[in-house]
Amino acid sequence: INFGGHMAGPQPGMPGAFPAAPASMAGPPQKKMDLDSIPSTTQVIQDDRVQHGGQIFCTNTRGQVPPLVTTDFTVQDQGNASPRFMRCTTYSLPCTAELAKQCQVPLAAVIKPLARLPKKETPLCVVNHGDSGPVRCNRCKAYMCPFMQFIDGGRRFQCGFCSCVNEVPDSYFQHLDHLGRRVDLYQRPELSLGSYEFEATIDYCKKNHPPNPPAYIFMIDVSYNNIKSGLVKMICEELKTLLEKLPREEGMENSPIKVGFVTYNKVLHFYNVKSSLAQPQMMVVSDTAEMFIPLLDGFLVNYQESSAVIANLLGQIPDMFADTNESETVFAPVIQAGVEAFKAAECSGKLFIFHSSMPTADAPGRLKNRDDKKLVNTEKEKTLFQPQKSVYEQLSKDCVLTGCCVDLFLFPSQYVDLASMADVTSHTGGSVYKYNNFLVHGEHFLRDLRKDVQKSIGFEAVMRVRTSTGFRATDFYGAIHMNNTTDVEMAAVDCDKAVTVEFKHDDTLSVESGALIQCALLYTTISGQRRLRIHNLSLNCSSQLSEVYRSSETDSLINFFAKSG
């Protein structure tokens, strides 16, 4: 695109202006942007589908730009992570910080560590190294991957990230072939694939104790509006069938996830649904300032064992509160109750909160109406979208520490301070769903709820991104919490959650050796097993701006701009 020639000299009226040159000596006239030369988005998408649709994308080439996210293709892992797990804003990094500044292309990766794979693609291999755990670099702590170079007859390996030479443990030793490769290269996923998992040792577990299976707690606002609108009845009816479809590991008949139920308005109602009971039992907590769990045994239960009692409870809840006149609600104590429940059960889990109004009851987390129309279109308008500094900030930290993820389903009929109420969700790996008109969007809500409950998920997640020398990860964007500059913490991470990572130069990058990225995610599976999921990616480096632009990936760029802005 030609934006026109340079100005011939200072313009009239500017200090130091000089007479304009005669028309015959003037430069070429400025050209307008040719709108027809701008690529058509739909045409680019269509062309990519024609070129790559139905094809196999092999990941054996460094810096290979993948097909667009809108294209249906099959990935074959041959040493680099699938683009379903990791995409970069450019697959050819500028060699220097100066070049990066000049090209104006942000250096970032969009990482979706637990992304769902199509059935026609091979699931990730799980590697068990026993009590010794996975082999790592002694200096930078990178995990064994295809970028490690074995030397000295296989007795040592050189780290591809920091170049440190490490001794190979005796239990991991293997001879090299005539090309310098281990003879068991294709028998070990961590040496030949871009993505794989390690079974974590006890050292990777909290308090050096294996984790318990997680739990889901369904917390329903039973205030006046929700009862009269039929929302509570709809939720209860849906849960009767939805709980049979809780996520489970491959090959498992039943889900190991436990379930619990809470209803609330200005007080909280806990339910004992132990399988030995003929009818569910309710316990009320009215002291919301000092939240506690009134029962342990019978609150979090296995659905298959207690299905009859749970069905009774879900049938009774709408009738139980049919005559309520209570319109005030609490919110922060509801989340605190979930945190205390997970602490008592020594497990992690997720809260599904169905809420409809501003928490105005006299309790921790009470919010004030900030819907000030005078601030709209002024410098202070942004304050309306910033959370109120309150108990929610500390509550977010407590949730992450406990492994409590919060999903919020919101049904407002008037103003609610969403910025403050969603603060906990945005730091725990959760999601916010908002339906302004429940009667119109009822089916939409049910579809969202079904997908949210059934999706694959990991808990108590900690992610770290390592890079080869010359650049490093500096900023992280997503529904995350960070206590330091390197560890990304999430109470839970599901198959739809992505973290965007920005990189900056430390030194000059080499065109010959390229650049390496390794993402390591430590998490707890649905069955309560601690695992390490590793994703590796190799990129090109270039001193040419044209190559940086040619290797750029639009979807990742848009993702970065949307999150970092």
Residues forming a β-bridge with 285: 268
Output the pLDDT for position 2. 36
Beginning with the edge strand found earlier in the chain, give each strand of the sheet holding 156-158 in spatial order.
149-151, 156-158, 165-167
Output the pLDDT for position 25. 46
Vertex 336, ends 334 and 337: CA angle to 5°?
65
Alpha-carbon distances of 44 from 36, 47, 48, 195, 555, rounded to whole Å: 14, 5, 6, 29, 12
Nearest CA-CA partner of 60 in 87, 82, 90, 88: 82
CATH (one of 3.40.50.410, 3.40.50.2300, 3.10.20.30, 3.30.70.920) for 215-454: 3.40.50.410
Residues forming a β-bridge with 92: 540
Tally the residues of the chain.
Answer: 565
Examine domains 126-148+193-208+458-564 and 215-454 and report if their fold is the same: no
Output the pLDDT for position 4. 36
Output the pLDDT for position 1. 38
Output the pLDDT for position 374. 64
Output the pLDDT for position 209. 87
Q: Which structure tokens are listed for 416?
A: 């609610």
Residues 6+ apart with CB under 8 A from 189: 125, 127, 196
Answer yes or no: CATH 3.90.1170.40 is held by domain 126-148+193-208+458-564.
no
pTM of the model: 0.89
Output the pLDDT for position 28. 57
Output the pLDDT for position 3. 34
Output the pLDDT for position 546. 94
Low-confidence ranges of the chain (pLDDT < 70): 1-31, 370-377, 379-389
Alpha-carbon distances of 400 from 339, 365, 471, 474, rounded to whole Å: 9, 18, 29, 21
> 301-302 and 92-94: which strand pairing?
unpaired
CB burial class (10 A; 0-12, 13-18, 19+) of residue 74? middle
Nearest CA-CA partner of 359 in 281, 423, 446, 278: 423
Instruction: Parse the chain into domains and list their residue ranges.
Output: 126-148+193-208+458-564, 215-454
